[in-house]
Structure 1
Amino acid sequence: MSATDGSAGPVAPLLSASGLHVTFPGRRGAPVARAVDGVNLDVGAGEIVALVGESGCGKTSLARALLGLVEPAAGGVTFDGVPLSYGARALKAYRRRVQLVLQDPSGSLNPRHTVYDAVAEGLRIHRCGGEEREAVTEALARAGLRPPERFFLRYPHELSGGQRQRVVIAGALALGPELIVADEPVASLDASVRGEILALLLRLRDELGLSALVVTHDLGLAWNIADRVAVMYLGRIVEAGPVESILTDPQHPYTRALLSVLPESPMTPVVLTGEPPDPTRIPGGCRFHARCQVLASGEAESVGVAARCRAEDLPVLQGSGPGGVACHWAASPDRL
């Protein structure tokens, strides 16, 4: 899944994961959990990519690996063409350029810190030179908290949920990052505020050239904000591509199921049975086959791939094109 330029074709990504594996030890001798299982994912400069999937599919583990918060068991991460190093000094420099925006602003902000101190915290940790007050003022203004001085001495409990999320975003912006990783950035907000925060992220992309990886379970959110979408299931990217193609012509049965339950979807709702399998016990064959409506309905059998669905694991998406689908049925020429 590679970043593209509409006029010049593929371009070098800003952030790239290649063959990334993240595992966690099992409890009491259980097998390791394969949280991220061979992922290729790119984010281009000035691009917003939405990483979508159910809870437990590995989205947050992948985001943490991309941020350098966990070291992968295999594969690697590159930023601006340079492999990520896990030494303390290298990680500190990297995290100035790549900032995290968490889901719950109340949990992200120290209740004893004023807004000014919350935004200035990163500047102090990284010992940034220059005028601190000026940097804090500019970050708050860019995050839509105006006039900034009005918020300097306020505490998190004195702010609305939307204002707290803007403070968190301002704290990230104060360091002048090139990319932010936003983990469910509007999940805890009222519906009336979500659109404002999404519009802010779009404005930051347009004004600053800021890239973003937005982690979400909501394909509707992806439609409103993303340039490209990557759909994740049980540690793998199963479909990826430009937002228009993914959301208007989804190919993978899992993507179709996620889209079908959106309120505005014209598709017949598909209710997935059961929960995603335990990542310590990933089933043989296609890891989605036990929940796949295409296999259950006989459509996979009609194009001659049902046996492969049950016996062969999902093919891994390659990073040589703008996207693709990892599904025996969707890739079958007899389906078309």
Structure 2
Amino acid sequence: MTVRLHNDGAEAAGETAAPPVLAAAGLRVAFPGRGGRGTARAVDGVDLEVGAGEIVALVGESGCGKSTLARALLGLVRPTEGRVLFSGEPLDYRGRALKRYRHRVQLVQQDPSGSLNPRHTVYEAVAEGLRIHEGATAEEERRVADALSRAGLRPPERFFTRYPHELSGGQRQRVVIAGALILDPEVIVADEPVASLDASVRGEILRLILDLRDELGLSALVVTHDLGLAWNIADRVAVMYLGRVVEVGTVEEVLSDPRHPYTRALLSVLPEADAGEPVVLAGEPPDPTRIPSGCRFHARCPVLASGEAEREGIADRCRTEDPGALPASGGDRAACHHARLHREAGAGE
């Protein structure tokens, strides 16, 4: 594994009795299927917590529901069931309350080229959120300058009149981050924050997110398909498959000792993982309008395909018995019959 960037002081965040700053409790989000056929269960019973000063990576393939979950946590999508909690209080979806919430929980979008208006200067782009939430203020210029400076664009005044096309990809992403920082949020939700950037710039943006956590006490949910990014930035990792979190734990637990076959498959393709031969998963993730019975991963599971589950006497359970949703923290780490069998066997030794 590569050397991790984050410092480990924030790992003590889980020791406090304070409620998590942001949480999903039994969250479900469903949409009508294509052409009105069935119901797509994009988020299907998720418990997830982000503690104060903690960075949580939400990892999974495209289409697994992680971006929908992030949008629900931001209040952009209303859940079908369950609740979003902020500092222990349920999210209020009424106009003024929701506006106050979005002041405190900010989105950092995936593609800075798409999220920045090409006709707006950097100053206008960063000031936009402030104007929406607080209106005209005599401190606008100072706060724009401060946000740009915190995002690593210094001296900030040099960027005020520049347009997105005049900036590098990394600079554009820093402008997007500055637009979130200007409201002094407590949490940022970063959706694939470095996916569109060159490898040479990715480390700089990840370092910036870590520095913001350390300097400002920010919490962050980082949505990514890249387990390597999770290793470098996260305190905890939640692995998502077909609408549900299937493994959760500290980054060391999940990436050094993965319990779920899906996590092991994702990890096996990382060149730095030293995890043996890459695991090639058969087929594509199932349609969320037709979630399989039993374990939702069973049709692609290498443990079942290899005959190991049959030899251990759990193959029928894998095909017919739902392992259920994972708790947000503590207790079970993986929603997997095979992992539970081995955990129980280890506990009995």
TM-score normalised by length of structure 2: 0.93
Q: Determine the C-alpha separation between the residues in 1 that align with 2:304 and 2:68.
A: 29
Q: How many residues align?
A: 334
TM-fit CA distance, 1:305: 1.1
Supply the AA of the counterpart residue of 1:52: V
Q: For each residue in 1:77-124, what CA deviation from the matched residue of structure 2 results, as whole angstroms up to 9, or x when unmatched?
A: 010121101111111110000000011000110111100010000110
Match of 2:231 in 1: 223
**Equivalent residue of 1:332, what SS?**
helix
Query: What's 2:3 paired with?
Result: none
Q: SS at the partner of 1:186?
A: coil
Note the 1:133-172 alignment, pairs <5 A.
Answer: 133-172=141-180
Aligned partners of 1:228 and 1:240 also within 8 Å: yes
The one-character-per-residue Cα deviations of 1:261-297 (angstroms, maximum 9, x if unpaired) are 0011211210111100000011111100000001111
- The 5-angstrom pairing of residues 4-83 of structure 1 reads 5=12, 8=15, 11-83=18-90
Counterpart of 2:256, as a letter, is: T
TM-score, normalised relative to structure 1: 0.96
* DSSP 3-state at the match of 2:48: strand
Contact 2:13 2:52 in 1 (8 A): no
Whole-angstrom distance in 2 between the partners of 1:50 and 1:6: 15
In the TM superposition, what is the alpha-carbon distance from 1:29 to its structure 2 partner?
3.4
**Aligned equivalents of 1:161 and 1:182: distance in 2?**
16
Aligned counterpart, 1:206: 214
2:121 equivalent to 1:114 = yes
Q: Which moved more, 1:311-320 or 1:144-153?
A: 311-320
Q: Deviations over 1:190-240 (max 9, x none)?
A: 000000000000000000000000000000000000000000000000000
The answer to which of 79-88 and 229-238 deviates more is: 79-88
* In structure 1, distance between residues paired with 2:183 and 2:232: 26
What's the counterpart of residue 283 of structure 1? 292
Point out the more displaced range, 80-89 or 315-324. 315-324
Aligned to 2:190: 182
CA contact (8 A) 1:5 1:11 kept: no
Shift of 1:319: 3.0
Question: Structure 2: how far apart are the matches of 1:321 and 1:10?
Answer: 14
In the TM superposition, residue 335 of structure 1 has moved relative to its aligned partner by 5.8
Counterpart in 2 of 1:270?
279
Tell me which of 298, 304, 309 is aligned to 1:300.
309
Please report how far the alpha carbon of residue 11 of structure 1 lies from its aligned counterpart in structure 2 after TM superposition. 4.2
After superposition, give the CA deviation of every residue in 1:7-26 in whole Å (9 maximum; x if it has no partner): 83664200010000000012
Write the letter of the residue equivalent to 2:92: S
- Between 315-324 and 255-264, report the one with greater CA deviation: 315-324
Structure 1 position 130, deviation (Å): 5.1
Q: Is the 8 A contact 2:29 2:81 kept in 1?
A: yes
Equivalent in the alignment of 1:192: 200
Distance in 2 separating the partners of 1:322 and 1:189: 37
Instruction: Describe the SS at the equivalent of 1:120.
Output: helix
SS of corresponding position for 1:49: strand
CA distance in 2, matches of 1:320, 1:202: 22
> What amino acid maps onto 1:188 in structure 2?
S
User: Which whole-Å CA distance do the structure 2 matches of 1:17 and 1:148 have between them?
Assistant: 37
The letter of the residue matching 1:177 is: P
* Unmatched 5+ stretches in structure 1: none
Larger displacement relative to structure 2 (230-239 or 22-31) = 22-31
State the identity as a percent: 74
How far apart, CA to CA, are the structure 1 residues paired with 2:100 and 2:332?
A: 31
What CA distance in whole angstroms lies between the structure 1 residues aligned with 2:14 and 2:185? 26
| Structure 2 residue runs without a partner (length 5+) | 1-9
Contact conserved, 2:282 with 2:300, CA < 8 A, in 1?
Answer: yes
Q: Could you say which residue in structure 2 is the equivalent of 1:250?
A: 258
- Aligned partners of 1:138, 1:317: CA distance in 2, in Å? 41
Deviation at 1:320, TM superposition (A): 5.1
